[in-house]
Amino acid sequence: MNHWLNQAGRPLIIGHRGASAHAPENTLAAFMLAQAQGADGVELDVMRCATGEVVVIHDDTVNRTTDGEGRVRALSLAALRRLDAGNGERIPTLDEVITATAGAPRPFLLNIEVKNYATPFDGLERLVVEVVRRHGCEDRVLFSSFNPLAVRRLAQLAPDIPRGILYHHGMPVHLREVWMAPLVPHEFRHPDIGLITPAFVAKLKAQGKRVNTWTVNERADIVRAATSGVHGIIGDSPLAIREALGI
């Protein structure tokens, strides 16, 4: 059974891009810190670089999060490796993150956001599934994407690995209300915290969906998410989530 479906009797605590409030986002340091802060798992963003590896980074370019410049998809893994992603951290590959988080006493959950929004036909879904299969870590992985077609492709490639559809309150109505849902096999919804009310969560649960919400950093929002009955809270500080929930 996939561990994302093993509810702990409380919301899962998930570090957004790792413990990104206290370490450079999407780096091994941030993922290890999330573990140390008592998170159940982390959310991470993945893209394909020029040489075909799956790398963990949020933006289309390296400009904001590193000391370099250029598009991720135009840079080789070797070139990406040379960059400083903060405090001397390097941009990790998905391989490395899976290896670094393996063997924990409690399986450390990975929410892999498939981020080929600018290049939706670059084959990223297939590459990501290959990496997960190679490690045999299917039982701690949950895929997500804002692109319903990417979620649909993941369902076809790996029907055994759960999937979530991402959306937020500022999106056009067809995305905000997930009109494509019937065509996209998925177990989870990932609405932003702006959409979360008890009634909203109850409605999704009645449809058989689980709900993980993001990016939840304020104490009042963490409490509201929990009292609304979400299954998982994705935030920059697992520590802050634990404190707000009193666990």
Instruction: Please choose, from the candidates 127, 191, 179, 109, the residue with its C-alpha nearest in 3D space to the C-alpha of residue 149.
Output: 179
Choices 39-47, 117-125, 192-200, 223-231 (CB under 5 A): range interacting with Mg ion? 39-47
Contact of residue 205 among ligand G3P, Mg ion, none (CB under 5-8 Å per partner type)? none
With beta carbons less than 8 A apart as the criterion, state whether 195 and 218 touch.
no
Instruction: Please choose, from the candidates 81, 101, 77, the residue with its C-alpha nearest in 3D space to the C-alpha of residue 89.
Output: 81
CA distances from 154 to 101, 137, 177 (A): 22, 16, 21
CA trace torsion 193, 194, 195, 199 (10° rounding): 80
Q: Round to whole Å and give the CA distance between 72 and 153.
A: 22
Sketch the per residue contact string, 91 through 120, with ligand G3P: x for CB under 6 A, - otherwise. Answer: ----------------------x-------
Per CB under 6 A, contacts with ligand G3P among 177-196 are 190
Residue nearest to ligand G3P (CB): 214
Could you say whether residue 144 binds ligand G3P (CB under 6 A)? yes
- DSSP for residue 91: P
Length of the chain: 247
Q: Is 169 a catalytic residue?
A: no
Please say which residue, 43 or 89, places its beta carbon nearer to ligand G3P: 43
What are the residue ranges of helices labelled H in the chain?
Answer: 28-36, 77-81, 94-100, 124-135, 148-157, 173-176, 198-206, 219-228, 238-245
Please say which residue, 145 or 228, places its beta carbon nearer to Mg ion: 145
Q: Is 190 a catalytic residue?
A: no
Could you say whether residue 166 binds ligand G3P (CB under 6 A)? yes
Sketch the per residue contact string, 23 through 62, with ligand G3P: x for CB under 6 A, - otherwise. Answer: --------------------x-x------------x----
Size of the site for Mg ion (CB under 5 A): 2
Catalytic residues, by residue number, are: 16, 58
Contact residues for ligand G3P, defined by CB under 6 A: 16, 43, 45, 58, 113, 144, 166, 190, 214-215, 234
Contact residues for Mg ion, defined by CB under 5 A: 45, 113
